[in-house]
Amino acid sequence: MSGPMSGRLAVVGLGPGDARQLTPEAAEVLAAADALYGYGPYLARVPPRAGQVRHASDNREEGARAAAALRHAAAGASAALVSGGDPGVFAMAAAVCGAIDMGPAEWRSIELVIVPGITAMLAVAARIGAPLGHDFCALSLSDNLKPWELIERRLDAAAAAGFVLALYNPVSRARPWQLAAAFDRLRRQLPAQTPVVFGRAVSRPDESIAVTTLGAADPALADMATLVIVGSSETRVIPRPGLAPLVYTPRAASGASA
């Protein structure tokens, strides 16, 4: 081969779990890759193909995983790095951009393709109605990569501004108290009857959804596979006979009680 051996790196979103929620583009890019990189349980979702190499890694090794995939692509391969949901939402796309930003100049010649996926908040919202039907924001409650004080400031500001909140990474084994602290923080500003949705493992066989209120929300309902949506003062719950309630945030906001 003549010229620089610059390959290709695709950062691919796998969606929330169900194979039907993986886009045709993602399936095509995954099938075409010479090598797959990613967190083991995510890689396990990708159908095997003969001749394709797999490099499974631990969830915590984001930077090392990005660098390994970039080195492989720089050597001329077509590599794919997988993320759950969308790769740009609290996931590998920013880790790869960060590695390119800080890494060797040759990594800037790699063809980088980011393939979007259905992110958890959209999958959870679709199950329950339209809680994100008006203005909303997404926060990660993980304080691995930012101080807890910053998370509290953002919770305060989001609640004060009347946003519905989608809370990613509500708890983990290493972070047992953060969700309870976040609920306490939000209770200072939001009424006790504010709707709260716990969406766990949505689109997977062990999916469960619970609708409650901020006053009654039990942090123990959440685990690492749960996304929590906290409504705004406009968010409504419609009880339905024999059916799950519908949670929605109306298309129009008065701004009266935000």
Shorter beta-carbon distance to ligand SAH: residue 74 or 114: 114
Region near ligand SAH per CB under 6 A, out of 98-106, 117-125, 152-160, 248-256: 117-125
Q: Binding to ligand SAH (CB under 6 A): which residues in 120-149?
A: 120, 123-124
> Is residue 119 within the footprint of ligand SAH (CB under 6 A)?
yes
> Is residue 17 within the footprint of ligand SAH (CB under 6 A)?
yes
Region near ligand SAH per CB under 6 A, out of 40-48, 50-58, 181-189, 222-230: 222-230
CA neighbours closer than 13 Å in the CB half-sphere of residue 68: 17
Region near ligand SAH per CB under 6 A, out of 21-29, 47-55, 87-95, 250-258: 87-95
Shorter beta-carbon distance to ligand SAH: residue 152 or 223: 223
> Is residue 38 within the footprint of ligand SAH (CB under 6 A)?
no
Q: How far is the CB of 204 from ligand SAH (least distance, A)?
A: 6
The residues that touch ligand SAH, with contacts defined as CB under 6 A, are 16-17, 83-86, 89-91, 119-120, 123-124, 168-170, 199-204, 224-227
